């Protein structure tokens, strides 16, 4: 069954917003957030991302709400904890 999907070019105003957004993240690091169910890369997150994002995994089809800021803190804590040299 074919879906009738109309694809059109974004307006000039929207194209300008897209260019500005790409320029804003040009020097930022990107990291991938994995689906907690299947481990597939679900979304790309940049350094200035914060808040909550809902995404659907393309592999398993499950929807998950991610708290981007808390996930970043979790990753930083894992790598910055002091090691015991015993």
User: What is the residue whose two structure tokens read 């804590």?
Assistant: 77
- The DSSP letter of residue 71 is H
**What's the rounded Cα separation, in Å, for the pair 60 and 37?**
8
Alpha carbon distance, N-terminus to C-terminus of the chain: 65
**What's the rounded Cα separation, in Å, for the pair 11 and 20?**
14
Q: What's the pLDDT score for residue 84?
A: 56
Counted residue by residue, the chain has a size of 86
- The DSSP letter of residue 59 is T
Per-residue tokens: 28: 């930022």
Question: Average pLDDT by consecutive 10-residue portion of the chain (86 residues)?
Answer: 80 95 91 89 88 92 88 51 53
């Amino acid at each position: 069954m074919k879906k009738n999907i109309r694809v059109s070019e974004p307006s000039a105003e929207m194209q300008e917003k897209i260019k500005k957004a790409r320029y804003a993240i040009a020097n930022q690091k990107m990291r991938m957030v994995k689906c907690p169910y299947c481990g597939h890369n679900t979304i790309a997150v940049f350094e200035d991302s914060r808040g909550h994002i809902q995404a659907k995994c393309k592999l398993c089809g499950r929807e998950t709400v991610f708290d981007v800021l808390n996930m970043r803190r979790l990753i930083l804590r894992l790598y910055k904890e002091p090691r015991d040299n015993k």
